[in-house]
Amino acid sequence: MKKKRPSLKDIADALNISTTTVSFVLNGKGEEKKISKELIAKVEAHLKEINYKPNLVARSLRTGSTRVLVFMVEDISNSHFSKVGRIIEDISYKNDYRVLFCSTENDVKRTQDLIHLFHERQVDGFIIVPPPGIEKEISYLLENEVPVVLFDRKIPELEADYVIINNFEGAKQSTQHLIDSGYKNIAFITIDLDQIQMHDREAGYIAAIEEAGFSPNILKIPYDTSNIPSSREKIKKFIKESKDIDAIFFATNYLSQSGLKCIHQIDAKLINKLGIISFDDSNFFEMYSPTVSAFAQPVDEMANQLMKIMFNKLKNKEQAVSSKLVLEGTLVTRESSLKK
Amino acid sequence: MKKKRPSLKDIADALNISTTTVSFVLNGKGEEKKISKELIAKVEAHLKEINYKPNLVARSLRTGSTRVLVFMVEDISNSHFSKVGRIIEDISYKNDYRVLFCSTENDVKRTQDLIHLFHERQVDGFIIVPPPGIEKEISYLLENEVPVVLFDRKIPELEADYVIINNFEGAKQSTQHLIDSGYKNIAFITIDLDQIQMHDREAGYIAAIEEAGFSPNILKIPYDTSNIPSSREKIKKFIKESKDIDAIFFATNYLSQSGLKCIHQIDAKLINKLGIISFDDSNFFEMYSPTVSAFAQPVDEMANQLMKIMFNKLKNKEQAVSSKLVLEGTLVTRESSLKK
DNA sequence: GTGAAAGCGCTAACAC
DNA sequence: GTGTTAGCGCTTTCAC
């Protein structure tokens, strides 16, 4: 026998008052609406007693707002993204928003599905790390005036707001740091993806290398989450075949982690001969032996700026204040990039 | 200037037909309701042209169903859970359900919030790996006849359905395998959590050890995601201080991974002297050197059974068919548990 | 101070 | 075959 969930009306009937009154009390507008203290107390007691849970679907239909934001990143298990996610979640909770997380796996089809799914369910805003090829869906959201903030990378053709870092500068500084430590034959291992942040990192590496009068040495791995072992093989082959390399700059933190395993598997002592630096920091790098240097993104600042822009959009739907932010990261030097 | 999103009514008006007709076509009931082929085609063309997206909040309010399920696990980045999650997602999609994933971090407060959040938003069903202390919320859901299936562990006091494995048997088999390989001094490293699956694994270990006439040697690590380094220290200390240990059985895959790092850090050659087996498999174990033996849960079968029970509940809300499943896992022997 | 009632966008029973 | 309409549970304007 099915117990129907109590509705506002059931409560109003039980208490012999109107739904309006119950609704006001429920939303903490009792005082404001000058409902008597006693009535408020009575209603609240009853709400608590029956453990009333409002139907948020109905509320959303009425108010047009779900108070839900989505945070779509490449891979939520990547510590860079999950750290930012965590801060975003905290800020949102404080402002009475919930956050749904999801991983796009950098796959357009999947991302499209996710965007439609959430848009149809009326989420209030999107924070997206856009995979290549997603321009159309993003413009669709923009046309429909759904708040969108891009993160980690921008889409140059699009009038969308974003918070990114200066990838070129970061990569250049990282490479320069290896050069300053005395390394002369610095390889760059990156992901073969046509995305602006990857191009910028590569360009930064090349700029530093050429300024120093060295020659670039680049390995590009296909982006393919399902095929980690084959990436490993490529990295191993590359390292084994280029015996003269004395340092490696990895373009992402997950590449660094794969790379470190490869280096270890080739020869347990090899890690002590190579200079290593990673773009993007990771908890793992502090625990590794040797500790691994990294170019760290300002996680806290990024999350805060992201939410500032998002809340601004949420509040002033009309007013299109364009916010395009390029932040600077910091070089975190640890043992792996000291001169060996 | 805000472009209002078109509603069913806008379409009906534009086409000079009723919302009913549009609704039927939209839901693929055109044929069934004997709407003329031409009209169907016309409506579909229009829907496509304006890129109509139904307001699923309104639909949910009307139908009482969101076609969303939640999958709540300890840590979605744990490969055991994410594998099951992936299969669940696939099955759900085929049945036109979406799945939301979230991590409870084994924290009651967080899990309560999550359950309320989703329940108020009217999700259709919950698949939950219950953290200790969550009994009350689960019974609340059950009382409200919300479909719930527990996973990975049961709550003995509760009349909730579940799909788990035979932890006792698995742990016993794993331990026995190490004994059969000739190890005599087998330690068990587990998590200090008052949860039945952990007790069962410990009991299985002890049973095998005592049958063989050996004595148990157990290390319990506090469950605390935020404090991985201190867990590492405990494991290292334990291994260093018990010089006579010749094998270790880890109670979870994440413990095994921590443990392997510890062993490596103590002495790179140590791994070749110790017998190792892990409860729960992981992709990582096949890549490691040596490859790591594990007691694998039947991921595919678990996910399928889980969804079978869930769909059964979803379809027959009334009929309470109790489904409590205890599946058997399989021992996957790899290099780490061969006699050294 | 409190209540009546409209309406958010959709579905589906019923009417014609 | 297609249209009319009630109603899902809630918020909020307006009336008293």
Query: Can you give the CATH number for the domain in which B27 is found?
Result: 1.10.260
Is residue B142, in this structure, part of any structural domain at all? Answer: yes
CA distance B18 to chain A (A): 22
Of the candidates A72, A165, A196, A195, the residue with the CA atom closest to the CA atom of residue A127: A72
Is residue A207, in this structure, part of any structural domain at all? Answer: yes
Backbone angles phi and psi of B20, in degrees to 5: -55, -50
The per-residue pLDDT for B3 is 58
Contact A263, A271 (CB under 8 A): yes
- Hey, are the CB atoms on A57 and B66 less than 8 Å from each other? yes
Is residue B3, in this structure, part of any structural domain at all? Answer: no
Distance CA A20 to C1' C6 in A = 13
One domain for residues A158 and A209: no
Gap between the Cα atoms of A137 and A165, Å rounded: 23
Question: Hunting for tokens 């149809």 — which residue is that?
Answer: A120
Identify the residue among B4, B57, B120 best suited for mutation to test binding to A, counting A beta carbons within 10 A and taking the highest. Answer: B57
Q: Using the C1' atom of nucleotide C4, identify the protein residue whose alpha carbon is closest.
A: A18
The per-residue pLDDT for B226 is 55
Please state whether strand C lies within 7 Å of residue B55 at its CB atom. yes
The per-residue pLDDT for A79 is 84
Number of helices (H) and strands (E) in chain B: give both, helices first. 13, 12
Q: For B104-120, what is each residue's pLDDT tens digit? A: 989 999 999 999 999 99
One domain for residues A198 and A286: yes
Q: For A282-315, what is each residue's pLDDT tens digit? A: 877 887 778 899 999 999 999 999 999 999 999 8
Gap between the Cα atoms of B305 and B125, Å rounded: 15
Whether pLDDT at B259 is above 60: yes
Is residue B265, in this structure, part of any structural domain at all? Answer: yes
Q: Average the pLDDT over A28-36 and give the result.
A: 89
Gap between the Cα atoms of A251 and B336, Å rounded: 33
Q: Average the pLDDT over B111-139 and give the result.
A: 96
One domain for residues A261 and A202: yes
One domain for residues B21 and B82: no
Give B-chain residues touching A229 at CB under 8 angstroms.
287
- Hey, are the CB atoms on B318 and A77 less than 8 Å from each other? no
One domain for residues A67 and A146: yes
CA distance B211 to chain A (A): 39
Is residue A1, in this structure, part of any structural domain at all? Answer: no
One domain for residues B281 and B187: yes
Residue from the list B55, B117, B144 with its beta carbon closest to the beta carbon of A3: B144
Contact B324, B150 (CB under 8 A): no
- Hey, are the CB atoms on B318 and A2 less than 8 Å from each other? yes
Whether pLDDT at A2 is above 70: no
The per-residue pLDDT for B1 is 40
Please tell me the number of Cα atoms within 13 Å of B120 on its side-chain side.
17
| Shortest CA to C1' contact from A35: nucleotide | C1
Give B-chain residues touching A55 at CB under 8 angstroms.
61, 120, 122
Please state whether strand D lies within 7 Å of residue A24 at its CB atom. yes
Q: For A94-122, what is each residue's pLDDT tens digit? A: 999 999 999 998 899 999 999 999 999 99
Give the residue on B whose Cα is nearest the Cα of A70: B100
| Shortest CA to C1' contact from B59: nucleotide | C10
Q: Using the C1' atom of nucleotide C8, identify the protein residue whose alpha carbon is closest.
A: A62
Q: Residue B105 is part of which domain span? A: 63-165+300-328
Please tell me the number of Cα atoms within 13 Å of A25 on its side-chain side.
25
Please tell me the number of Cα atoms within 13 Å of A153 on its side-chain side.
22
Backbone angles phi and psi of B296, in degrees to 5: -90, 135
Please state whether strand D lies within 7 Å of residue A136 at its CB atom. no
Give the residue on A whose Cα is nearest the Cα of B1: A318
Q: For A184-208, what is each residue's pLDDT tens digit? A: 999 999 999 889 999 999 999 999 9
Q: Is A249 helix (H, G, I), strand (E, B) or coil?
A: strand
One domain for residues B69 and B144: yes
Please state whether strand C lies within 7 Å of residue A144 at its CB atom. no
One domain for residues B155 and B73: yes
Residue from the list B3, B57, B318 with its beta carbon closest to the beta carbon of A57: B57
Please tell me which residue, A318 or A314, carries the higher pLDDT value.
Answer: A314
One domain for residues A89 and A159: yes
Give A-chain residues touching B77 at CB under 8 angstroms.
76-77
Q: Using the C1' atom of nucleotide D8, identify the protein residue whose alpha carbon is closest.
A: B62
Tell which strand C nucleotides have any atom below 7 Å from a protein Cβ: 1-5, 7-14
CA distance B173 to chain A (A): 30
Gap between the Cα atoms of B149 and B157, Å rounded: 15
Gap between the Cα atoms of B128 and B133, Å rounded: 13
One domain for residues A279 and A172: yes
DSSP letter string over A36-90?
Answer: -HHHHHHHHHHHHHTT----HHHHHHHHS---EEEEEES-TTSHHHHHHHHHHHH
Is residue B2, in this structure, part of any structural domain at all? Answer: no
Q: For B183-234, what is each residue's pLDDT tens digit? A: 999 999 999 998 999 999 999 999 999 999 999 999 999 987 656 778 888 9
Question: Hunting for tokens 């993204």 — which residue is that?
Answer: A81
Q: For B43-63, what is each residue's pLDDT tens digit? A: 999 999 999 999 999 999 999
Share of chain A above pLDDT 90, in %: 76
Which residues on neighbouring strands pair with residue A100, listed in sequence order? A70
Query: Can you give the CATH number for the domain in which A258 is found?
Result: 3.40.50.2300
Q: For B81-99, what is each residue's pLDDT tens digit? A: 999 999 999 999 999 999 9
Those residues of chain B whose CB sits closer than 8 Å to some CB in chain A are 2-3, 5, 51, 53-58, 60-61, 66, 76-77, 98, 100-102, 116-117, 119-122, 140, 143-145, 228-229, 232, 261, 265, 268, 283, 287, 289, 317-318
Whether pLDDT at A149 is above 60: yes
One domain for residues B113 and B190: no
- Hey, are the CB atoms on A56 and B98 less than 8 Å from each other? no
pTM summary value: 0.88
Distance CA A228 to C1' C4 in A = 65
Q: For A236-278, what is each residue's pLDDT tens digit? A: 999 999 889 999 999 999 899 889 988 988 887 899 899 999 9
Q: Using the C1' atom of nucleotide C9, identify the protein residue whose alpha carbon is closest.
A: B58
What's the whole-number average pLDDT of chain A? Answer: 92
- Hey, are the CB atoms on A100 and B98 less than 8 Å from each other? no
Contact B302, B80 (CB under 8 A): no
Helices (H), B242-336: 253-266, 283-287, 299-315
The per-residue pLDDT for A1 is 40
Give the residue on A whose Cα is nearest the Cα of B229: A287
Residue from the list B5, B61, B229 with its beta carbon closest to the beta carbon of A144: B5
Give A-chain residues touching B317 at CB under 8 angstroms.
2
How would residue A319 be classed by pLDDT, with cut points 50, 70 and 90?
Answer: low
b/e map B173-195, b = 16+ CB within 10 Å: bbbbbbbebebebbbbbbbebeb
| Shortest CA to C1' contact from B9: nucleotide | C9
The per-residue pLDDT for B286 is 81
Residue B28: exposure state from Cβ atoms within 10 A (0-12, 13-18, ≥19)? exposed
Whether pLDDT at A36 is above 70: yes
Give the residue on B whose Cα is nearest the Cα of A269: B268
Distance CA B135 to C1' C13 in A = 41
Give the residue on A whose Cα is nearest the Cα of B93: A113
Give B-chain residues touching A100 at CB under 8 angstroms.
100
Whether pLDDT at B340 is above 80: no
Give the end-to-end CA distance of chain B in Å, rounded to a whole number. Answer: 75
One domain for residues A69 and A154: yes
- Total structural domains in chain B? 3
- Hey, are the CB atoms on B57 and A54 less than 8 Å from each other? no
Whether pLDDT at B290 is above 70: yes
| Shortest CA to C1' contact from B23: nucleotide | C11
Q: Average the pLDDT over B314-327 and give the result.
A: 80
